């Protein structure tokens, strides 16, 4: 925990001092989750990526005003949320989904919070899945990210159904251990495993 605090202090100081490596550091941490977050709100992936890029330009222009990594994260989400709302306001025609999000963004911020949590959840999950043993990672990704069924995966990977199930169980066990070891909050851990066990 002490090392994580020291690392955070290092990166925020470097960011405040104009070190572009620090900008890249925060970009790597937040970019994927922010793009997912914005795309969920405006239902336009290309525009979502443009919005996120502009948000990173804005934090760089205000680099001296941030004192913690948390304040950078909060600014990115608030700014991207506002940019998504502006984008939806300017659309002359909105899809049904965009119209729903527009109404929610105008009146209820809990929707935004839910998407932040979901984005964080997916970001953490993708990072940890990448560290799984090869076969476990492939099976897990096919099930949870591509929606494949056990028998489909068995045929695709030339494995028995029992072996596929064993890889799935092993992946979940390793992820659970990793989340607990990294100190992921009990609430987020619970949310992750509710999600995993739905499949």
Pick from 30, 197, 194, 20: which is nearest to 123 by CA? 30
Segments making up each domain of the chain, as ranges:
1-108, 130-199
pLDDT per position as a tens digit, 116-150: 556 666 677 777 888 899 999 999 888 877 778 88
Query: What is the greatest pairwise CA distance in the chain?
Result: 57
Q: How confident is the model at residue 186 (pLDDT cuts 50, 70, 90)?
A: very low
Q: According to the model, what pLDDT value does residue 126 have?
A: 77
Tell me the CA distances in angstroms from 173 to 125, 128, 141, 154, 170, one per residue in order: 13, 12, 15, 20, 5
**6-27 pLDDT per residue, tens:** 687 899 999 999 999 999 999 9
Please state, in angstroms and rounded to a whole number, the distance separating the CA atoms of residues 62 and 110: 27
Has residue 185 got a pLDDT over 60? no
pLDDT tens per residue, range 35-81: 988 888 888 899 999 999 999 999 999 888 888 887 888 888 888 88
Residues of the chain with pLDDT > 70, as a percent, come to 75
Q: Which CATH class is domain 1-108?
A: mainly alpha
Domain 130-199 top-level CATH class: mainly alpha
Domain 1-108 and domain 130-199, same fold? Reply is: no
The pLDDT of residue 194: 46
Identify the pLDDT of residue 54.
96
Cα–Cα distance, 78 to 15 (Å, whole number): 19
pLDDT digits (tens, 9 = 90+) for 88-112: 888 877 777 777 767 766 654 555 5
pTM for the full model?
Answer: 0.55
pLDDT of residue 115: 59
Other beta carbons within 10 angstroms of residue 171's beta carbon come to 24
The yes-or-no verdict on residue 28 having pLDDT over 80 is: yes
């Amino acid at each position: 925990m002490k090392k994580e605090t020291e690392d955070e202090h290092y990166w925020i100081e470097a960011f405040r001092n104009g070190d572009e490596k620090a900008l890249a550091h925060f970009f790597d941490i937040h970019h994927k989750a922010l793009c997912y977050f914005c795309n969920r709100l405006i239902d336009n992936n290309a525009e979502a990526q443009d919005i996120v890029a502009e948000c990173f330009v804005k934090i760089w222009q205000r680099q001296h005003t941030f004192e913690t990594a948390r304040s950078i994260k909060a600014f990115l989400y608030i700014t991207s949320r506002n940019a998504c709302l502006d984008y939806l306001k300017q659309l002359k025609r909105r899809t049904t989904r965009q119209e729903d999000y527009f109404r929610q963004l105008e009146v209820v911020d809990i929707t935004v919070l839910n998407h932040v949590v979901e984005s964080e959840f997916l970001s953490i999950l993708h990072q940890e899945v990448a560290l799984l043993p090869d076969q476990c990672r492939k099976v897990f990704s096919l099930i949870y990210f591509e929606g494949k069924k056990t028998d489909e995966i068995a045929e695709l990977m030339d494995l028995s159904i029992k072996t596929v199930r064993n890889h799935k169980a092993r992946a979940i066990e390793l992820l659970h251990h990793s989340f607990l070891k990294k100190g992921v909050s009990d609430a987020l851990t619970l949310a992750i495993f509710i999600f995993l066990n739905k499949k």
